[in-house]
Structure 1
Amino acid sequence: MMKIPEIKSQAPARICLFGDHQDYLNLPVISCAINKYIKIKGVENNSMNLIFRMKDLKKKDVIPINKIFESVKNEEYIKLTLKVLRKYGCVPNKGFNISISGDIPIKEGLSSSSAMVISLIKFFIAAFGINIKVTPKTIARLAYEIEVIEQNSSGGKMDQYSISIGNTIFFDTLSEKIEIINNKINTMVVGVSGEKKDTLNMLSYCKKNQIESIKEVKKKYSEFDIRKMNFNNLDLYLSCVANNLKPFFIAATKNYKITMDAFSELNKKNIEMRKLGNLMNEHHFLLKNNLKITTKKIDKMIESTHSSGAYGSKIIGSGGGGCIVTLCEKKNVFDIIENLKLSGAKDAFEVRVC
């Protein structure tokens, strides 16, 4: 009996190293894909259904291949993916038994949802074809349409491009120009808080206030552009901003400068990891004190890494819980992991760029 061919796809998690809460401002980010994955595999069946089994969630879903979705609830990623791909000629024409599994912590700031969507896109294209040229950028754009445009979300483009392209990248979200950074950061540790977070509302809150603060400056200085800003004029610009929005303007502008300084450091022949770690700490300071996206547990976890020899640490993603990332020397990995767990982390592990 001939074995039925199996289709496989996978997509990695991502870490934002510099530029959290910058991509939706059309500013650059530095991010990397890491060796944690969402994996999908499927074989044809004799039905007219797509039968999904989510192993880790212990869920099952059955979708008829001729089902056309007029409207889909947010975060129903399988249905959202099928809906958007149909517009580009990727239309189910046979049934499949499909299993979905992974080792990315869910809703913890490592972009498990984007990894899921990109893995689904790759699977459906392999199974049913599509009427457009397929490149990593194409897949990223499709994922962005599914996750952000289709859901009317406040998110940016970093997750989709970082995961689809892989490696460590400098991504200009305005021009969509991408530079792969060849100087890989060798040693990183991720700490998982286990705290539930409200990604969409947190993103919306920070985006709204940062954009509003920039608009207030542009009312008086219409040509204002963060990319061209002279930081000696920060107080001048702050005088145009309402007091409650000042912290958001400071975060928007200073985080941009930190990202560019980090990019310069990463492009050196010999990276000064201590300097890069200090920039990461500065970035986290603004995320904590200006955007206020950390929690008591996250703060405690960050403190534990500093007492364990870390170069630098920061919260990852939208905030309100989730994960942290730590830059460190290989010799300190064990102590950092142990102390993260002692500080209340649900889990902690070393990761590498992939």
Structure 2
Amino acid sequence: MRVSASAPGRVNLIGEHTDYNAGFVLPFALPYRTTVHAVRSLRQKWTVTSDWAPGQSTSFGKPESAAGSATWVDYVRGVVWALQDAGHEVPGADLHISSDVPVGSGLSSSAALECAVLTALIELSDLDIPVTDRPALAQRAENAFVGVPCGIMDQAASVLSEAGHALLLDCRTLETEHIPFDGTILVIDTRAPHRLVDGEYALRRTTCEAAARELLVPALRDADLSDVDRLTDPVMRRRARHVVTENARVLETVALLAAGKVHEIGPLMTDSHTSLKNDFEVTVPELDVAVAAALEAGAYGARMTGGGFGGCVIALVEPRDVAFVTESVEAAFARSKFTPPRSFVAAPSAGAHLEK
């Protein structure tokens, strides 16, 4: 039996570092995808090959525990483990992987890989797993097996997105709503190397969890600004203020989009970036320069997207201004002696599915 499945990367329109605080996020799927071609094997073994490592293969038996190395193959092993840990029978398979999702850019290449493998293995195993349950399985692979403490946004966007829509996700209830979005989003890959991202990301999460405990609320989603003011530690107060205000920005963005006021979400995007820079402290100079240059060139709004410490900026622009904004950001990077950025326009695309 042979199957092919693909899953997209994502950008987050707004709602950063709110997912692991039981809050709201508004991502959409990219047109860039990871594809898995899977052939069922007679042995209880999985062999993985890829386009980016031609001639090389990795094989493994039943995954028992995380390897601890967090290589890309560990994400594949993690999906097999998560399915088996949930009580599902997964046959051995030969898996070949190809992808055009940019790696290391904060566009969720790892979630695309997990969700493509998951979609293929569910079909190959003839498993009856509702689509709405699949993001949690992929997240468990990344959290419990690979050891990355991500929230569920990336996997939900990769699995559940619809073309032409952003995905409003309540990260507590996992309820979703597809929000029509026809704005022009310019994605600017700053190509900034991720700096201290693993330890710093985990630290942001533990700080937010500590703030919720001090406030005696289940999560920062349940706090308001008057609660934040009661926090005694200034760093904890800044982190919590970002989460509280970011959740409000997500809901306001959804309301504006529902009213057809696409361009009016721009200031909320920019406010989000300012909060991520000053309160959550996850930007780097390349991200800040890209946002400033895009705004100066006429973007309605701009912000970093993803976990931060490198990666991408998104800018809401007029279609006619794409080239000018792109050139303005490139010129600003040249003046700052940064590595030249890469830019592309992204339209909301479909989530994971089987390929014909």
Greater relative contact order structure (CA < 8 Å, 6+ sep): 2
TM-score, structure 1 normalization:
0.86
2:244 matched to which residue of 1? 253
In the TM superposition, residue 60 of structure 1 has moved relative to its aligned partner by: 2.6
**Structure 1, residues 158-185: CA drift from partner, whole Å, max 9, x if none?**
111111001311111111111111x213
Higher deviation after alignment, 140-149 or 38-47: 38-47
Offset at residue 99 of structure 1 (A) = 2.2
Preserved contact between residue 44 and residue 62 of structure 2 (Cα < 8 Å): no
The equivalent position to 2:141 in structure 1, one of 146, 154, 177, is: 146
Query: What is the 5 A alignment of 1:60-75?
Result: 60-63=56-59, 67-74=61-68, 75=70
**What residue in structure 2 maps to residue 115 of structure 1?**
112
2:124 equivalent in structure 1: 127
Distance 1:195 1:228, change over 3 A: closer
Q: Which residue is equivalent to 1:7? A: 3
Q: CA deviation at 1:239?
A: 4.1
Task: Note the 1:1-354 alignment, pairs <5 A.
Answer: 6-43=2-39, 50-58=46-54, 60-63=56-59, 67-74=61-68, 75=70, 76-87=74-85, 88-93=87-92, 95-96=93-94, 98-130=95-127, 133-167=128-162, 168-181=166-179, 183-197=180-194, 198-218=196-216, 226-227=221-222, 229=224, 231=225, 233=226, 237-268=228-259, 270-273=260-263, 275-342=264-331, 343=333, 344-354=339-349
Q: Distance in 2 between matches of 1:226 and 1:48?
A: 43
Q: Which runs of 5 or more residues in structure 2 are unaligned?
A: 334-338, 350-356
One-letter code aligned to 1:193: T
CA displacement at 1:71 relative to structure 2: 1.5
Note if contact 1:27-1:172 (Cα within 8 Å) is conserved in structure 2.
yes
Deviation at 1:11, TM superposition (A): 0.3
Amino acid at match of 1:263: V
For residue 49 of structure 1, report the CA deviation from its aligned partner. Answer: 5.4
Query: Contact (CA 8 Å) 2:231, 2:237: kept in 1 or not?
Result: no
Larger radius of gyration: 1
Contact 2:63 2:81 in 1 (8 A): yes
Provide Cα deviations, 1:269-311, integer angstroms capped at 9, x if missing partner. x2241x2000000011000111111111111111221122211
Q: Is the 8 A contact 1:52 1:61 kept in 2?
A: yes
Inter-partner Cα distance in structure 1 for 2:53 and 2:316: 31
Aligned-residue sequence identity (percent) comes to 19
1:53 shift after superposition: 1.9
**CA apart distance, 1:266:** 1.7
TM-superposition CA deviations, 1:5-35 (whole Å, max 9, x none): 7421100111111110001010111111111
TM, length-normalised to structure 2: 0.86
Structure 2 counterpart of 1:73, one-letter code = A
Gaps of 5+ in 1: none
- Flag the 1:44–1:243 CA change in 2: closer, same or farther, 3 A: closer
Give the ranges of 4+ consecutive aligned residues of structure 1 lying more than 6 Å apart after TM superposition.
Answer: 45-48, 222-225
Q: How many residues align?
A: 334
Contact 2:276/2:282, CA 8 A, preserved across alignment: yes
Q: In the alignment, is the contact (CA less than 8 A) between 1:216 and 1:241 conserved in 2? A: no
The CA RMSD measured in Å over matched residues stands at 2.4
Cα 1:79–1:339 shift into 2, 3 Å: same
